[in-house]
Structure 1
């Protein structure tokens, strides 16, 4: 059995931008539900929560006040024992300037940023340099989302040109986002891993019933994993998961089998973001 010196960071993505209550009765949409889910997932082994919020009609929102209320609810439930990572996802609602403006006003502890969403003509490389420079200066725990190898290579090129400054960035490899039926297989991870030449720690997320196999492969390859109802509602056996915590528990079990301990939020802050 392999023994890893680096623990595993499990991130739970409990709701996403699109799913609604008919998709699953335990989908957390309100701030109180997010708090309850955070507590359950912490107990199951998560060290970070990837958080979306909704407006009054249940639609994707980047409202700063709404985010602050959700952050307060999660902190009330778990204190500092989970890293709260907010999404800046466009979700066909927002444009890059609005996404960047939300992050700069909110100043969250952690944020995910889709590279292709902010790498837009209206932002330009000068705008990217300013935004990522600000993120580094403010020590925002930033995870950069890449959907394919071309995205990863674009990130590497921006780093090489000095547009993106040196800072403790991390990456999220998204598997299957643009595949037929949005399905993922473990082999989808390999092109990312082979093309990743930098020092940034990486995580993966995957769509559909292959999520657990993909996450377990990431654990075996020394990466980190994001699981949850945002992308998948099914357990590894094909049954509908009762809640997000069940999906977290599955990958925590895989980590134990593969000889990897789990990062606490405190440990992950020190390892990922304090360089």
Structure 2
């Protein structure tokens, strides 16, 4: 499965082409799905283009994207940078009037279990965000009770292309006992090397303007669809190598 991450915490100051409004997210999702994306992750924004978990913003973004790509799963963030207090994050989830198919919960953030429980109460799938270089894997795997998550988002963060593959291998080793699907992805310089590794390992993968703004050859990407097309090419190449 290839997920497209449409915008992330970025702003238009960093990337003028970044989709921010509900209409822009819908257009970007339509183009990305046409290019080969099978799942969507997005960050709803407020009027100042900042990440928000407010019900109206979530409803607008999710509804617009669903209308543009019916049948394609749509997920949102619950990152602590948007709302630091986990109790308030959970309250926001319980206030949502339009429910995404899934939402990411970062397990290195305080209150991850509480936010995940609120999502599950609403019938929303949980993507467990496990960042490299953090205690997230230990926290996630050490939690009591059954693991009720849709997938693990294994993110190689804070490393350049040189160390990306080593960091990814370490992270996958830490998650070897997780009996759930793993989506492996990187960010910045690590995005493309890690995507190649995910394709070679037959793992789910992710690409989009949240993770990287350049194509594998270093040229600026015109948008999410261009990134998805490049990722599809890599996945196809790795598939041929395995034959």
TM-score interval, normalised by the smaller of the two chains: 0.7 to 0.9
CA shift digits 1:187-245 (9 cap, x unpaired): 22101111221211111231213311111101111211111111210110011111111
Q: Which whole-Å CA distance do the structure 2 matches of 1:225 and 1:206 have between them?
A: 9
Q: Which whole-Å CA distance do the structure 2 matches of 1:233 and 1:12 have between them?
A: 13
- For CA contacts below 8 A with separation 6 or more, give which structure has more relative contact order: 1
Picking from 111, 117, 121, the partner of 1:119 is 111
Q: Which whole-Å CA distance do the structure 2 matches of 1:237 and 1:44 have between them?
A: 19
Picking from 236, 247, 260, the partner of 2:227 is 247
C-alpha spacing 1:133/1:20, structure 2 compared with 1 (3 Å): closer
2:154 is the alignment partner of 1:173: yes
Q: State whether residues 41 and 244 of structure 1, in contact with CA within 8 Å, keep that contact through their aligned partners in structure 2.
A: yes
Paired residues in the alignment total: 236
2:65 is the alignment partner of 1:85: no
Q: Which whole-Å CA distance do the structure 2 matches of 1:75 and 1:241 have between them?
A: 24
Secondary structure of residue in 2 paired with 1:34: helix
Secondary structure of residue in 1 paired with 2:84: coil
Picking from 10, 16, 19, the partner of 1:25 is 16
For structure 1, the 5+ residue unaligned runs are 1-8, 121-127, 261-275
Secondary structure of residue in 2 paired with 1:258: helix
Give the TM-score, by structure 2 length. Answer: 0.88
The more displaced of 149-158 and 135-144 is 135-144
Q: State whether residues 176 and 182 of structure 1, in contact with CA within 8 Å, keep that contact through their aligned partners in structure 2.
A: no
For structure 2, the 5+ residue unaligned runs are none
Match of 1:203 in 2: 183
Q: CA deviation at 1:258?
A: 2.2
Picking from 149, 157, 164, the partner of 2:142 is 157
Q: How does 1:210-249 map to 2 (within 5 A)?
A: 210-249=190-229
Q: State whether residues 184 and 207 of structure 1, in contact with CA within 8 Å, keep that contact through their aligned partners in structure 2.
A: no
Secondary structure of residue in 2 paired with 1:174: strand
Q: Which whole-Å CA distance do the structure 2 matches of 1:144 and 1:132 have between them?
A: 9
Q: Which whole-Å CA distance do the structure 2 matches of 1:226 and 1:210 have between them?
A: 12
Structural RMSD (CA): 2.3
2:137 is the alignment partner of 1:146: no
